[in-house]
Structure 1
Amino acid sequence: MNALLNSLITELRRGTLTLAVLSQLRTPQYGYSLVQRLEQSGISIDQSTLYPLLRRLEKQELVTSSWDTSESRPRRYYVLSAFGLEIFEQLKQEWEKTSQELYTLLKGEKDDESVGTD
């Protein structure tokens, strides 16, 4: 059961991680700073998940990247492209709509359970 539950949780999180990452790239971020920002919001993401996601988002032209070599350690910064910002806003609206619908369904489920126990 744990393997099944973990698999379903991973599936559920996959799309939300994309939205979470996009939400933090309105300002340029490098990988480690992005991990920290997400973790401060309660969202954990492994670097082994983050970097392939960033590469995919860049290939989809939602994100652009550039190297900053002004410090002793070069860092690759990622930021939303204009297209990425447009897509992010649409995804955010869809997430809010879907979240509200799910909340209503799940809340209704609790209401149904309490009706049967009276």
Structure 2
Amino acid sequence: MNPDPAADPVVAGHLQELRRGTVVLAALVALRTPGYGYALLESLNQHGIVVDANTLYPLLRRLEKQGLLTSEWNTEESRPRKFYRTSDEGDALASTLIADWQRLDASLRHLTEETS
């Protein structure tokens, strides 16, 4: 049985650092279709991008303040919800980040093939 590598604090710290930027990219991509925070949280978790609500909600506010997301309140339902959508600037950033992600992925694949 393999122990959980994330139980090691050094490994856990590096995994957290690696995942931090991916949450930004995932949110920008997912919110190309408008959604509210909790639905985004559930969707990301279902897709294997585990993020805590205490991380996601401040991130959404920061991305909105940076002009990468827009928001509006939906008060038609019994519980008002703030819906977010990726702005044109956020969409452009997502495209740039995806291109760089793909370049890094290809480079890492090449590097690991050389060393295995």
User: TM-score, normalised on structure 1?
Assistant: 0.88
Q: Which residue of 11, 16, 22 corresponds with 2:22?
A: 16
Q: Does 1:94 find its partner at 2:100? A: yes
After superposition, residues 38-77 of structure 1 pair within 5 angstroms as 38-77=44-83
- Report the count of equivalent residues: 110
CA offset digits 1:46-91 (Å, max 9, x no partner): 1001011111111110001111000000000110111111111111
For structure 2, the 5+ residue unaligned runs are 1-6
CA RMSD across the alignment: 1.2
Separation (CA, whole Å) in 2 of partners of 1:47 and 1:37: 12
Q: Which amino acid aligns with 2:98?
A: K
Matched residue SS, 2:71:
strand
How many percent identity over aligned positions? 46
For structure 1, the 5+ residue unaligned runs are 111-118
User: TM-score, normalised on structure 2?
Assistant: 0.89
CA offset digits 1:12-35 (Å, max 9, x no partner): 110111111111010101011101
Match of 2:4 in 1: none
Separation (CA, whole Å) in 2 of partners of 1:82 and 1:24: 14
**Max radius of gyration: which structure?**
1
Match of 2:42 in 1: 36
Report runs of 4+ in structure 1 exceeding 3 Å deviation. none
Matched residue SS, 2:97:
helix
